[in-house]
């Protein structure tokens, strides 16, 4: 540990209860905290200390104490640790602020106030007896922080837009240690900037979301085979381009590979299908639910509660696996989507033997209704314009077992992404937006928001963090000034 870091930790321990600091000598506790990230790329980093604040006031004391050390000591902000972007929520040799002890959920006047250490599963469980839903992660285990500050796609995105667009108030501790509320009336520039600005402007201690009446939904997964894949993309594009496109649907179409699929050496296709009303088998979903032939024994379509649907997606809360995400966005063009899938399959071939490999090429649409709802909800800084039509996010995702395959699998993903991107560009179908929640280190999601939005964020940073604490001392994620 560097001398200045040791000094900073000593200063922090003077101002805050020392029991809230976990150092590597506390082997068991440190190991269990640091190994609880989804991705081994995050757990590979070993902070000098993990700080577990129990209140917003303690977060404020942390920032005030750390400020004089900002040139020499780094910190990271961690929620559920579900983002696989290396170093976004952990820091080598620095101090990781782990928000898990900031708990509490309250409902008041239709607004659910959620402390930063909660999970979406807990929020859904809390809201269920009230007959209410909220735009949140599609998995129970996902953290609130990453999704609510970096966009966030939910089952309800077609109707309600991005998760960040549904935050009506952020309670945020800014660099000075001041605790602010950012909403349409108070600090509105900060409010809009936090809707996409990630960890650049402060540590958010509570998120207040608007809720809506929510009964059960029709949801589940359908597995099928590659020959039907192109028809599925055609059906998706047709639905997205229809003037009557349903705002109740959320669809994810994937082509994937894993031995556990029991499909030999072949890829298999998967539709993750949601209709956010309690209607069994609605006509709009027929092409995706009834694709034939399918692995009918694996078809899980049924009426489910929000909590059940998100539990199905949660991947059993894995931790410390080798895992990376990368993404690119394109317009609604079947040839671009299909060729992207073909490229991915080709590049996959030489790495299929990587131990425990499970990977996919997943199409997730942002329908026009979703992009339109952003401004109705007050706006954000993502820079997506509804007039450009539906946007389709292409997510490349890989999970594997062994560190020795890191370079091979990363190389496969990067090569595939580059080819998919240039194929889309050559066809005039590339959308410059990069989705932060799925971005890899060399994909500058922030700059993809466009110059105007970056300037808006830089202005907010100069106002709320004039010394640039979150730019220099908190290096994780994507930063505003280079």
Ligand X SMILES: Cc1cc2nc3c(=O)[nH]c(=O)nc-3n(C[C@H](O)[C@H](O)[C@H](O)COP(=O)(O)OP(=O)(O)OC[C@H]3O[C@@H](n4cnc5c(N)ncnc54)[C@H](O)[C@@H]3O)c2cc1C
Please report whether residue 96 would count as binding ligand X according to CB under 6 A. no
Q: Tally Cβ neighbours within 10 Å of residue 471.
A: 18
| Closest among 330, 131, 129, 352 to 236, alpha carbons compared | 330
Of the candidate residues 9, 16, 168, 204, the single one contacting ligand X (CB under 6 A): 204
Residue with tokens 């990067």: 414
Of the candidate residues 121, 143, 341, 367, the single one contacting ligand X (CB under 6 A): 143
Of the candidate residues 24, 177, 315, 383, the single one contacting ligand X (CB under 6 A): 315
Q: Which is nearer to ligand X, 312 or 421 (CB)?
A: 312
Distances (CA, A) of 95 to 34, 273, 397: 12, 40, 29
Q: State the minimum distance, in angstroms, from the CB of residue 285 to ligand X.
A: 19
Question: Could you give the CA distance from residue 106 to residue 241 in angstroms, rounded to a whole number?
Answer: 39
Residues 6+ apart with CB under 8 A from 409: 322, 324, 351, 354, 357, 359, 398, 400
Binding to ligand X (CB under 6 A): which residues in 326-355?
A: none
Of the candidate residues 40, 53, 94, 137, the single one contacting ligand X (CB under 6 A): 137
Q: Tally Cβ neighbours within 10 Å of residue 182.
A: 26
Q: Which is nearer to ligand X, 77 or 430 (CB)?
A: 77
Q: 308 in helix, strand or coil? A: helix
Q: State the minimum distance, in angstroms, from the CB of residue 292 to ligand X.
A: 28
Of the candidate residues 77, 301, 348, 357, the single one contacting ligand X (CB under 6 A): 77
Binding to ligand X (CB under 6 A): which residues in 10-39?
A: 38
Return the axis-axis angle of helices 56-66 and 3-15, rounded to nearest 10°.
140
Of the candidate residues 33, 91, 142, 416, the single one contacting ligand X (CB under 6 A): 142
Binding to ligand X (CB under 6 A): which residues in 111-130?
A: 116
Q: Which is nearer to ligand X, 255 or 321 (CB)?
A: 321
- Where does 3-119 have alpha helices with state H? 3-15, 27-34, 40-43, 56-66
Show the beta-strand stretches assigned E in 281-376: 302-304, 322-331, 358-366
Is the Cβ–Cβ distance between 69 and 44 less than 8 Å? no
The tokens for 356 are: 């425990």
Q: Which is nearer to ligand X, 230 or 447 (CB)?
A: 447
Q: 406 in helix, strand or coil? A: helix
Q: Which is nearer to ligand X, 147 or 255 (CB)?
A: 147
Q: State the minimum distance, in angstroms, from the CB of residue 377 to ligand X.
A: 16
Residue with tokens 């809720």: 211
Binding to ligand X (CB under 6 A): which residues in 147-176?
A: 147, 149-150, 152-153
Q: State the minimum distance, in angstroms, from the CB of residue 77 to ligand X.
A: 4
Q: State the minimum distance, in angstroms, from the CB of residue 271 to ligand X.
A: 16
Of the candidate residues 81, 94, 220, 367, the single one contacting ligand X (CB under 6 A): 81
Please report whether residue 139 would count as binding ligand X according to CB under 6 A. yes
Binding to ligand X (CB under 6 A): which residues in 427-466?
A: 437
Binding to ligand X (CB under 6 A): which residues in 180-199?
A: 198-199
Please report whether residue 203 would count as binding ligand X according to CB under 6 A. yes
Q: Which is nearer to ligand X, 219 or 343 (CB)?
A: 219
Please report whether residue 214 would count as binding ligand X according to CB under 6 A. no
Point out which span in 21-29, 53-61, 136-144, 370-378 binds ligand X (CB under 6 A). 136-144
Q: Interface mask (CB under 6 A) for ligand X, residues 385-414, using x and -?
A: ------------------------------
Of the candidate residues 49, 50, 66, 80, the single one contacting ligand X (CB under 6 A): 80
| Closest among 235, 209, 204 to 222, alpha carbons compared | 235
Point out which span in 22-30, 143-151, 182-190, 258-266 binds ligand X (CB under 6 A). 143-151
**DSSP class of 394:** E
Question: Could you give the CA distance from residue 361 to residue 113 in angstroms, rounded to a whole number?
Answer: 35
Q: Which is nearer to ligand X, 288 or 440 (CB)?
A: 440
Please report whether residue 89 would count as binding ligand X according to CB under 6 A. yes
| Closest among 147, 134, 148, 159 to 366, alpha carbons compared | 159
Q: Which is nearer to ligand X, 82 or 423 (CB)?
A: 82
The number of angstroms, rounded, from the C-alpha of 129 to the middle of its chain's C-alpha atoms is 27
Of the candidate residues 100, 477, 479, 480, the single one contacting ligand X (CB under 6 A): 477
Q: Which is nearer to ligand X, 101 or 228 (CB)?
A: 101
Question: Could you give the CA distance from residue 246 to residue 362 in angstroms, rounded to a whole number?
Answer: 21
Q: Which is nearer to ligand X, 314 or 360 (CB)?
A: 314
Is the Cβ–Cβ distance between 273 and 285 less than 8 Å? yes
Is the Cβ–Cβ distance between 135 and 209 less than 8 Å? yes
Residue with tokens 């992207």: 340
Question: Could you give the CA distance from residue 242 to residue 66 in angstroms, rounded to a whole number?
Answer: 53
Is the Cβ–Cβ distance between 186 and 164 less than 8 Å? no
Check the CA dihedral 438-411-451-203 and report its sign. Answer: positive
Contact residues: ligand X, CB under 6 A: 38, 77-83, 88-89, 99, 116, 137-139, 142-147, 149-150, 152-153, 198-199, 203-204, 313-315, 437, 476-477
């Amino acid at each position: 540990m560097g001398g200045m870091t040791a000094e900073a930790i000593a200063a922090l321990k003077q101002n805050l209860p020392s029991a809230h600091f976990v150092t590597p000598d506390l082997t068991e506790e440190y190991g269990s905290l640091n190994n609880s990230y989804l991705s081994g790329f995050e757990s590979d980093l070993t902070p000098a200390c993990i700080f577990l604040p129990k209140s917003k006031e303690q977060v404020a004391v942390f920032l005030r104490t750390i400020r004089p050390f900002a040139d020499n000591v780094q910190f990271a902000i961690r929620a559920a640790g579900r983002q696989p972007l290396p170093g976004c929520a952990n820091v080598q040799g620095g101090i990781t602020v782990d928000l898990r002890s900031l708990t509490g959920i309250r409902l008041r006047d239709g607004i659910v106030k959620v402390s930063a250490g909660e999970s979406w599963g807990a929020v859904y469980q809390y809201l269920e007896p009230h007959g209410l839903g909220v735009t949140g992660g599609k998995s129970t285990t996902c953290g609130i922080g990453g999704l609510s500050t970096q966009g966030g796609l939910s089952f309800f995105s077609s109707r309600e837009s991005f998760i960040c667009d549904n935050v009506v108030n952020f309670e945020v501790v800014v660099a000075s240690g001041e605790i602010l509320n950012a909403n349409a009336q108070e600090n509105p520039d900060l409010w809009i900037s936090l809707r996409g600005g990630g960890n650049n402007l402060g540590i958010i201690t509570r998120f207040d979301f608007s809720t809506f009446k929510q009964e059960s939904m029709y949801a589940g997964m359908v597995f099928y085979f590659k020959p039907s894949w192109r028809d599925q993309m055609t059906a998706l594009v047709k639905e997205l381009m229809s003037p009557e496109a349903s705002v109740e649907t959320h669809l994810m179409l994937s082509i994937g590979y894993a031995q556990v699929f029991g499909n030999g050496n072949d890829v298999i296709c998967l539709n993750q299908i949601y209709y956010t009303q309690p209607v069994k088998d609605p006509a709009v979903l027929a092409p995706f639910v009834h694709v034939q032939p399918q692995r009918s024994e694996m078809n899980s379509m049924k009426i489910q509660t929000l909590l059940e649907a998100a539990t199905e997606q949660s991947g059993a809360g894995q931790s410390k696996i080798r895992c990376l995400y990368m993404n690119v966005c394109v317009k609604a063009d079947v040839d671009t989507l299909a060729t992207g899938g073909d490229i991915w399959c080709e590049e996959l071939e030489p790495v299929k033997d990587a131990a425990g490999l499970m990977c996919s090429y997943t199409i997730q649409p942002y329908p026009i209704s979703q992009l339109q709802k952003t401004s109705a909800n007050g706006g954000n800084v993502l820079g997506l314009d509804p007039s450009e039509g539906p946007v389709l996010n292409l997510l490349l995702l890989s999970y594997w077992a062994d560190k020795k395959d890191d370079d091979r699998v990363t190389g496969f993903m990067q090569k595939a992404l580059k080819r998919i991107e240039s194929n889309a560009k050559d066809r005039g179908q590339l959308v410059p937006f990069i989705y932060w929640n799925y971005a890899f280190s060399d994909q500058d999601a922030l700059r993809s928001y466009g110059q105007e939005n970056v300037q808006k964020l830089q202005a907010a940073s100069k106002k709320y963090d004039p010394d640039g604490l979150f730019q220099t001392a908190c290096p994780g994620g994507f930063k505003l000034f280079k």
